[in-house]
Amino acid sequence: MQTLKVFVCNDGTATIICPGCAKHRTIDATGIGASRRELRVRCSCSREFSIILEGRRNYRKPDLIFGHYRKKDGDGRCFDMTVEDLSCGGLRFSSFRDHHLEKGDLVQVEFPLKNSRNDKVQALAEVRWVNGYMVGAEFVDLDPFTEKTLGFYLMP
């Protein structure tokens, strides 16, 4: 049975599209909530499939991209990082050394995208969480070009 990922919008709705006939239905997912468990769906065309509701605001692409970061108010030193996953809203990266980053810190990140033009992303991000060498950060005021470039890169 085919399993589809369905994103829950900010207003709590989710649109389910049948992979067989392309009929769509928007449901109120606030009572269901975003979960990692599969829900079975049957379309009026008799096609059965499973969905997983995803509560993230943006599609997140797993990736392994080597890049650099530096703390905005630090001493200016650059540190190596590996981008583990990426979305239009932020990234998760790991550092190779003790980074001394804390929630709320601003970091300047720089990494190349794995696309035909090898576009380079240079962005300011706010650290949202830290777990050992792993860091989650949200982009702050992306310029329109970078936002558009990321959007195309992240298309599934």
Query: Do residues 72 and 129 both lie within one domain?
Result: yes
* Sheet (strand 3-7) strand order: 3-7, 48-54, 39-42
Query: Do residues 140 and 71 both lie within one domain?
Result: yes
CATH number (domain holding residue 105):
2.40.10.220
**34/77: higher pLDDT:** 77
| pLDDT tens track for 117-145 | 889 999 999 999 999 999 999 999 899 99
| CA gap 107, 56 in Å, rounded | 22
Query: Do residues 23 and 100 both lie within one domain?
Result: no
Total domain count, the chain: 2
Query: Do residues 73 and 113 both lie within one domain?
Result: yes
Burial string for 88-100 (b: 16+ CB within 10 Å, else e) reads bbbbbbbbeeebe
Structural domain span for residue 33: 3-54
Query: Do residues 43 and 68 both lie within one domain?
Result: no
| pLDDT tens track for 26-50 | 888 877 755 556 789 999 999 999 9
Give the end of a domain, one of 12, 39, 54.
54
pLDDT band at 57 (very low <50, low <70, confident <90, very high): low
Query: Do residues 65 and 138 both lie within one domain?
Result: yes
| Sign (positive or negative) of CA dihedral 46, 39, 33, 56 | negative
Query: Do residues 65 and 42 both lie within one domain?
Result: no
Query: Do residues 72 and 147 both lie within one domain?
Result: yes
